[in-house]
Amino acid sequence: QVQLVESGGGLVQAGDSLTLSCQYSGPTFSRSPMAWFRQGPGKERRFVASISGNGDSTYETDSVKGRFTISRDNAKNSVHLHMNSLKSEDTAVYYCAARIGTYRAEYGTARFWPYQGQGTQVTVSS
């Protein structure tokens, strides 16, 4: 059974940086592609970024490319989302997600990521 616990959210100002972390518990972490989703107020949960099990491949949605970077530390069973130049529209609850098996950049909807955490709130004030 996979368990995911996010941390690092908070209240920041526009233009600030923030790093979210996700601690993974379960079967071999290095075989688990990881992702981040977010859900803004009154909006659907949407894909943000993903990373392959060995960390060699990453993918970010267009709205965060150049500002957000996903990384992982397989020695610590953790994945991180480094967020720079934050905007008010980045305000959302951010969820860590995992799957076991293959990784494809096209896996951009929640149905490909059966394991998700409880989320951490990020609020960006303008």
pLDDT score for 93: 98
Mean pLDDT of the chain: 96
pLDDT score for 3: 97
Q: Does the structure show a pLDDT above 90 at 55?
A: yes
% pLDDT > 70, the chain: 100
Q: Does the structure show a pLDDT above 90 at 1?
A: no
| 96-103 average pLDDT score | 95
Closest CA to 37 of 26, 22, 23, 25: 22
